Structure 1
Amino acid sequence: MSEHRIRVDVDDAGVATVTLDRAEKHNALDRAMFDAIVDAADRLARDRRVRAVVLHGDGKSFCSGLDISSLGENGGPSELLAREDGHLANLAQRVSVDWSRVAAPVIAAITGNCFGGGLQIALGADIRYATPDAKLSVMEVKWGLVPDMGITQSLPRLVGIDVAKELTFTGRILSGTEAQSLGIVTRTVEDPLAAALDLAREIAGKSPHAVQAAKRLYDETWAGNDPAAALLLESELQVSLMGSPNQLEAVSAGMTKRPANFADPD
């Protein structure tokens, strides 16, 4: 990571807060920001203490998209589109799709501008909270481009193809309220960061094995075309949980109405 762009803090409850830290540029994406986001996702994917992640932007905006002025630096677009050995996605795509590699749920808190690549990063999260007046756009057509940061893996799970095409062909700006009505945003709230942290703490209080298994179950089967494989995965995950220490702790805590004390995954 060549420059400071991201802050990552993990509290005692296992809630990780990831802050895009380029407020003076509305957290626009230059090469250093791409590297920093991928590095943060990789660190959290390997940290077994993490039970929930909140992703947000410092300052007025979540992320205003690509920093066009930086395109000629550090190899330019060709560097972003290169795939390293062992990775399905290229660097530009990994800032979105790598959040699926984090076993814990990821919640994006959206304020201000969430344009182009910034929207695709937010779509890579499991849940999105936004202010009613947040501004969201699949904006790449403005620059004569197509969205290419993992949107094919995220947007089809949220909207119909006609909605995806309309938004992509026009690049029009949605409010947080309209984005919620379309299913792109999970919920609108006046303070997305506070609401996301509250949700993350609630999730962190559940069995991490159960939560992480549920994320895997949906990520691997949602809108899939293999019902047999999906049903088999349900059973396999359930068998792995039944009788495990955290599952027994969940039952014991529920029966005695006491806070549960769950162990971190190995």
Structure 2
Amino acid sequence: MTQSTVRYETPAEGVARIVLARADKHNAINPQLIFDVNEAFNRAVRDEAVKVIILGADGRNFSAGHDIADTVADYQAAVQANSPGVSTWSDFAEDYTHGWYAAEKEAYLESARRWRNLSKPTICTVQGKCIAGALIFAWVCDIIVAAKDAQFSDPTVTFGVSGVEWLGHPWELGPRKAKEFLFTSDIWSAEEAHRLGMVNHVVEREELDDFALAMAKRIALKPAFALKLAKEAVNKTLDTQGQMNAIDQAFSLHHLCHNQNFRKFGYGMDTSNLPKVANVPKKVVEPG
């Protein structure tokens, strides 16, 4: 039986807390983590006693983003098990790119869409590094509380991709700062994120959990139905402004980048700047 990568807690009446529990891997996101977070959210939504959900993480860092090593290994195993004669990433790119698209659409885009629209208020607590795919986990929550040591970055452009699967950047940062964030791959502090409106509050690291719990307890005093509709009203305002259509379109561009990189490098990212990972091509595959 696979051990869960998350921990589910009920720290106060009306409050559930979901904790990313891969601290030994800096809470890097692999398929199992996504499944486990989704099931934990399901549990909290099904429990009528729960009115507010906190998403947090163990360890020094909230999350290092996509676990490239685990993802490569999982995809490689799936390709070899289900596709006779397909044994390399070049083969995968040639005949099975739709599998990569479908898997990422379900795991990242559709999961994020569902978490964003949960019927209960959500609070994300962020400490340490919050990189690339980890931004999705934070951005789909209604409120973000960051420790002073929190750092936010999206280095995907460095790896030949237009941004993470849920391109919330223009909505979280404004268009010009979103472009800067993507173009430079710079690391931004909690204070900068707060100045731009991405983060609600910045607190001392040792106060992070208590601050979020105190807020959750205040929210939990409100009527559940009113909370649900208040959240829906704000989300529908964003929808009317085009947020979901824009994110869907950006996901298509994300995969155009993957396909271009498959064509040039035999892998879904530009391997020139990619950290060394098992099963990733060691040299560029020229298009031919």
Name the TM-score class by shorter chain: 0.7 to 0.9
**CA shift digits 1:130-180 (9 cap, x unpaired):** 1122111122123222323322xx433332211111101111100111111
State the partner residue of 1:100. Answer: 116
Are residues 1:15 and 2:15 paired?
A: yes
Aligned length: 220
Offset, 1:43: 2.8
Change (3 A) 1:101 1:160: closer
Q: Do the aligned partners of 2:51 and 2:120 also contact (CA within 8 Å) in 1? A: yes
TM-score (normalised: structure 1): 0.75
What is the CA–CA distance in structure 1 between the aligned matches of 2:159 and 2:98, rounded to whole Å? 17
Change (3 A) 1:11 1:194: closer
State the partner residue of 1:131. Answer: 147
State the partner residue of 2:37. Answer: 37
The residue correspondences of 1:81-230 to structure 2 (distance < 5 A) are: 81-82=101-102, 89-151=105-167, 154-190=168-204, 191-222=207-238, 224-225=240-241
What is the CA–CA distance in structure 1 between the aligned matches of 2:12 and 2:114, rounded to whole Å? 24
Offset, 1:41: 2.4
| Identity within the alignment, % | 31
- Larger helix proportion of the pair: 2
What is the CA–CA distance in structure 2 between the aligned matches of 1:174 and 1:42, rounded to whole Å? 32
List alignment gaps of at least 5 residues for structure 1. Answer: 227-266
Offset, 1:100: 2.1
Change (3 A) 1:94 1:44: farther
State the partner residue of 1:264. Answer: none
Q: SS of the residue aligned with 2:61? A: coil
What is the CA–CA distance in structure 1 between the aligned matches of 2:208 and 2:155, rounded to whole Å? 22
- Higher RCO (C-alpha 8 Å, min separation 6): 2
What is the CA–CA distance in structure 2 between the aligned matches of 1:11 and 1:218, rounded to whole Å? 27
Q: SS of the residue aligned with 2:18? A: strand
Computed over aligned residues only, the root mean square deviation of the Cα atoms, in angstroms, reads 2.4
State the partner residue of 1:64. Answer: 64
State the partner residue of 2:47. Answer: 47
What is the CA–CA distance in structure 1 between the aligned matches of 2:18 and 2:98, rounded to whole Å? 27
Offset, 1:6: 0.8
TM-score (normalised: structure 2): 0.70
What is the CA–CA distance in structure 2 between the aligned matches of 1:118 and 1:79, rounded to whole Å? 23
**CA shift digits 1:218-260 (9 cap, x unpaired):** 111137249xxxxxxxxxxxxxxxxxxxxxxxxxxxxxxxxxx
Offset, 1:38: 2.1
Q: SS of the residue aligned with 1:60? A: coil
Offset, 1:188: 0.5
